[in-house]
Amino acid sequence: MASTEALLPVTSRQDPLSESRSDQIPETRRRRPIKVHLAVCSGLLLIALYVTLIVTHDGSTAQNGAKDETSTESRARLAGVSEKSNDGVWKLSGDGKTEAFPWNNTMLSWQRTAFHFQPEKNWMNDPNGPLFYKGWYHFFYQYNPNAAVWGDIVWGHAVSKDLIHWLYLPLAMVPDQWYDANGVWTGSATFLDDGSIVMLYTGSTDKFVQVQNLAYPEDPSDPLLLKWTKFSGNPVLVPPPGIGAKDFRDPTTAWKTSSGKWRITIGSKINRTGISLVYDTTDFKTYEKHETLLHQVPNTGMWECVDFYPVSKTKINGLDTSVKGPDVKHIVKASMDDTRIDHYAIGTYDDSNGTWVPDNPSIDVGISTGLRYDYGKFYASKTFYDQNKKRRILWGWIGESDSEAADVQKGWSSVQGIPRTVVLDTKTGKNLVQWPVEEIKSLRLSNKKFHMKVGPGTVVPIDVGSAAQLDIEAEFKIKKDDLEIILGEDSVEADEEFSCQNGGGSTVRGALGPFGFSVLADQSLSEHTPVYFYVTKGKDSKLKTFFCTDTSRSTMANDVVKPVYGSFVPVLKEEKLTMRILVDHSIVEGFAQGGRTCITSRVYPTKAIYGATKLFLFNNAIDATVTASFKVWQMNGAFIHPYPADDL
């Protein structure tokens, strides 16, 4: 028998934690067998292992080779989590030109938003249990009271009269029971027939099992709903057979079935199939699980933060979650754990058995080419029915795209998107339309109106004074003559393959685009964030419009994720191209065609801050002249602050 040493690839390998090749870390050395039969056994085993390693090593050399490209002068660039999350390889790409970048407090403190909801400090994630009650909009949220990264999660709480001016309240729920000792996680509110509120939420138990718990206001006469009581019989739901103990979270708002029971759905997965479980209840304390699922889609992974609600086919108001009928479609939405993307699909709900089918299975929930609320940074979103103004309102968690070191240094992480109304697009019937709530207009201060023709290859500075807090509404028209020439000209190639992500960003010029605004720009445009339309000519000479945000040049900093975001946007005959942009320091929200396509981005300029922040209009098209008609408002801050302690 050959010496076992020669067949021990493990111990002969350099321990990666040791800098010296000759070092052998003791724990990598297998203990030498002392008995003959054990020696024989391990010898055979090692032959088997060695063979396995030889066979598998070939498969991994290609990846090892790719990794050797890293160099000391490489520029750190995150593989954007949502774009490249499936390749498993975090690559460095280098140009060595960027200087390493230390954030200073001046730059970091500028990043805080003026009119988006965020706590005074530390980490926030999912919106929880939004509702309107006794004159107040309530917002709860996943919060870490101890750090600027996820962990130690509790329910934060805030109230507002108008969804814009928020007042911080004390924490609503903390992990003080065995059934939520490891986390008071996401949940939703339901209004019962008598107007009282029940809250269902996920708890991570002392044994790390995900369970659903019931809570309700301790004092329903308190409009601030300060205190919450947890049901003594919690948990009300535990993972059912066949479902993983850690794959069972985020219960929805309940809806009434025709038989008078309440019904909820909870996302999960079975292997790689994303699913949504269905439970019926009369009292929110005991439940019957359906044998069938609300829906499932293979290869989409875990469904988090499932949302399920009706939308009117004909009216522009929102609908209570229990509404059903021929005039209504139902939306199934899920947050895809794999890709950090929120997807939705429109379909038909069958109340008799609690199932739902999509109108278009090829863009089913979670399919990568399917519909998203937002084509940028936007996750764990949740809607609620605002019975006050008969709207369905959407909240979305907007995380950071910077490094955790920066978050720790600045002391906070994450904001919420501006709440949006959600309705079915009655003109296309195939997508939802979202729009910032009307109340945001109360922040508008002075405005300037512009109307100008912008020739190909032009950049125009737009003087609006301070440019970090803006509301821009714009309309664009491509010059008709140019359009006709381009459409008629065979030499202008059909751009079948364009997508915002592959289009190379805003500096790649096409016949009919890109054109739009550069926000958060400095005077020399060394840092800027273009939000733009890119119109392509299809093979059949039909125009196809894309709406994009390019953050690749948004900052000189090298520890920030800087993707190009965006998507196709439907533009109907006779419609002008319209966009709205909300700029609020480190967040930019773009809405095209009245909210058919929305893009939220996080932006961290190092130079385009404070007085140096500018706004530009640009037209990078090669052939087309564009007429832009737009209004730019300065936006006031919302001055979000604690509810006066004396009044609590």
Partner 1 sequence: MKMIVMVMMMMMMSEGSMIDQTCKQTPDFNLCVSLLNSDPRGSSADISGLALILIDKIKVLATKTLNEINGLYKKRPELKQALDQCSRRYKTILNADVPEAIEAISKGVPKFGEDGVIDAGVEASVCEEGFQGKSPLTSLTKSMQNISSVTRAVVRMLL
Binders in 179-218 for partner 1, by CB under 8 A = 182-183, 204, 208, 210
Active site (annotated) includes residue 126? yes
Query: In the complex, what is the shortest distance from the CB of residue 559 to partner 1, in angstroms, rounded to a whole number?
Result: 5
Of 281-340, binders to partner 1 (CB under 8 A) are: 301-302, 337-338, 340
Of the residues 4, 368, 409, 629, which one makes contact with partner 1 according to CB under 8 A: 409
Counting Cα atoms < 13 Å in the Cβ hemisphere of 169 gives 25
Between the two ends of the chain, the Cα-to-Cα distance in Å is 81
- Catalytic site residue from 126, 522, 550, 623: 126
Which is nearer to partner 1, 41 or 572 (by Cβ)?
41
CA dihedral 63, 67, 68, 69 (to 10 degrees): 120
What is the number of other CB atoms lying within 10 angstroms of the CB of residue 334? 29
553 backbone dihedrals φ, ψ, rounded to 5°: -115, 25
Query: In the complex, what is the shortest distance from the CB of residue 139 to partner 1, in angstroms, rounded to a whole number?
Result: 21
Using CB under 8 A as the binding rule, whether residue 414 contacts partner 1 is answered as no
Which is nearer to partner 1, 336 or 437 (by Cβ)?
336
Using CB under 8 A as the binding rule, whether residue 27 contacts partner 1 is answered as yes
Which is nearer to partner 1, 258 or 271 (by Cβ)?
271
Query: In the complex, what is the shortest distance from the CB of residue 525 to partner 1, in angstroms, rounded to a whole number?
Result: 24
Any alpha helices (H) in 358-496, and if so which ranges? 404-410, 480-488
Using CB under 8 A as the binding rule, whether residue 164 contacts partner 1 is answered as no
What's the rounded Cα separation, in Å, for the pair 65 and 58?
A: 11
DSSP label at 345? Answer: E
Of 540-569, binders to partner 1 (CB under 8 A) are: 558-559
3-state secondary structure of 436: strand
Any alpha helices (H) in 102-207, and if so which ranges? 105-110
Which is nearer to partner 1, 76 or 494 (by Cβ)?
76
Of 63-92, binders to partner 1 (CB under 8 A) are: 63-64, 66-67, 70, 72-76, 78-79, 81, 85-86, 88-90, 92
Which is nearer to partner 1, 8 or 323 (by Cβ)?
8
Angle at the Cα of 337 (from 332 to 341), degrees rounded to 5? 65
Of 329-388, binders to partner 1 (CB under 8 A) are: 337-338, 340
Of 37-66, binders to partner 1 (CB under 8 A) are: 37, 40-42, 44-45, 48-49, 52-53, 56-57, 59-60, 63-64, 66
Q: Could you give the C-alpha distances from 91 to 17, 76, 85, in angstroms and in order?
A: 21, 9, 12
Using CB under 8 A as the binding rule, whether residue 102 contacts partner 1 is answered as yes
What's the rounded Cα separation, in Å, for the pair 143 and 127?
A: 10
What's the rounded Cα separation, in Å, for the pair 325 and 330?
A: 10
Number of residues that bind partner 1 (CB under 8 A): 76
Using CB under 8 A as the binding rule, whether residue 465 contacts partner 1 is answered as no
Angle at the Cα of 441 (from 570 to 534), degrees rounded to 5? 25
Q: Which stretch binds partner 1 (CB under 8 A): 93-101, 161-169, 212-220, 567-575?
A: 93-101
Cis ω before 326 (30° cut-off from 0): no
Which is nearer to partner 1, 27 or 194 (by Cβ)?
27
Cis ω before 26 (30° cut-off from 0): no
What's the rounded Cα separation, in Å, for the pair 616 and 210?
A: 49
Query: In the complex, what is the shortest distance from the CB of residue 337 to partner 1, in angstroms, rounded to a whole number?
Result: 5
Q: Which stretch binds partner 1 (CB under 8 A): 97-105, 447-455, 547-555, 587-595?
A: 97-105
Query: In the complex, what is the shortest distance from the CB of residue 131 to partner 1, in angstroms, rounded to a whole number?
Result: 25
Q: How would you classify the pairing of strands 587-592 and 597-602?
A: antiparallel
What are the residue numbers of the active site?
126
